[in-house]
Amino acid sequence: MLTTKKKVKKRISDMRIVVGISGGVDSSVACYLLKQQGHEVIGLFMVNWEEKDGTCTAEEDYEDVKRVCNKIGIPYFSVNYSKQYYDRVFEYFLDEYKKGRTPNPDVLCNREVKFGPFLEQAKKLGADMIATGHYAKKIEKDGKFYLAKADDLNKDQSYFLNQLSQEQLKSVLFPLANIDKPTVREIAHKLGLTNADKKDSTGICFIGERNFKNFLKEYLPAKPGKILDLDGNEVGEHDGLMYYTLGQRRGLNIGGRKGGNGERWFVIKKDLENNILYVSQGEDDLLYSDYLFASEMNWIPQLPNDKEFECFAKFRYRQPDQKVKVTVLDDKKIRVDFAEKQRAITPGQFVVLYDKDGVCLGGGVIDKSFKKDGRQIS
């Protein structure tokens, strides 16, 4: 039975650290590395989604957690946060789709669950710190905490952590900050971990890999409607606007339509009021915008003093950094002007800002994008 430790000054190698362990190789190796450093390590597995159809992998993931923790020699627990996930993340996810936007629930999952109830539970277990298997860095300077890109830029996950608060950053360690993925797998192999070659999880946070359209149908009623080209010609029928995103080419089922120019169709606009999906062919200049507005900004570590500044931005995960100029409208809203026009800026996604050294300045939700002449694109 674990007991809460008294708050005493700890040596850096003498901390109780609760690790969010998922059953994947990254969090497993994070546990091992921390134990090797002399810490008391506890694995905490989070169940954030419950289903009876067998598509959720929580049970088999927890079996991996048991095997890993027994191999490493650390205690482990399972906690159920499915209600918190539904209330704080999934309802937001559904609301955004109802509005015709394309949300990124993984960002909110980190802020609201992995660094919310999980952090609270860790403190109940007497944790001095929590840790995760994210590829990201934390930097402390002058009493403030900064988020930065991991050394393995191919796996860097700082984009998904852009909404973390100072208190959350203060409490977390990222053991994989300076390690690349091949090295993580190599360590797991040397330890004989059964999940050393386990595939990385993809798809929506804690919902797993499944047919997205079928999944969404369970929660939002589909409303089929017309697909029109920009001249107003009907070229097909859509299954429901929530299933489509700007720039999408696959799944439109209108490729062989007569009168087309033979080039691929792509989504250009969604008219929610009239339930119409607009598409175009060939040149996709209509998808390119020159600036955007974003809201719900979370600044790391704080609101900048300069109301205008240049930096770099990502508008989607894995996108190369784009040079931008940021205008701070208020503490929660910004305008972002692009040095080079950007394709398919998607409302509901996050714009995440970085300095030239890869330090994350914060992020916010994309609301709208425009061309230089003021025409709204998204």
Bridge partners of residue 280, in order along the sequence: 266
Alpha helices in the chain (DSSP H): 25-36, 58-72, 82-85, 91-98, 105-109, 117-124, 166-170, 181-191, 212-217
Output b/e per residue, 4-32; b: 16+ Cβ within 10 A: eeeeeeeeeeebbbbbbbbbbbbbbbbbb
Catalytic residue list contains 109: yes
Q: How many other C-beta atoms are found inside a 10 Å radius of the C-beta of residue 142?
A: 5
User: Which residues contact residue 322 at a Cβ distance below 8 angstroms, ignoring those fewer than 6 apart?
Assistant: 312, 313, 314, 315, 338, 339, 340, 342
Of 345, 377, 365, which is closest to residue 294 (Cα–Cα)? Answer: 365
Q: Which of 210, 268, 266, 272 is nearest to 240 (CA)?
A: 272
- Smallest CA-to-CA distance from 358 within 305, 328, 321 is with 321
Using the structure block, give the residue that is written with the tokens 């996604």: 349
Rounded Cα distance, 366 and 368, in Å: 6
Name the active-site residue from 56, 205, 311, 360. Answer: 205
Catalytically annotated residue among 56, 109, 311, 360: 109
The answer to whether residues 18 and 42 touch, using CB atoms and an 8 Å cutoff, is: yes
**Greatest C-alpha distance within the chain:** 76
Residue position matching structure tokens 């600036």 = 291
Q: What does 212-242 look like in DSSP terms, one character per residue?
A: HHHHHHTTS----EEEEETTS-EEEEES-GG
Is there a catalytic annotation at residue 69?
no
d(CA 316, CA 159): 8
Cα torsion 5, 8, 13, 18 to 10°: value is 30
Q: Which residues are catalytic?
A: 109, 205
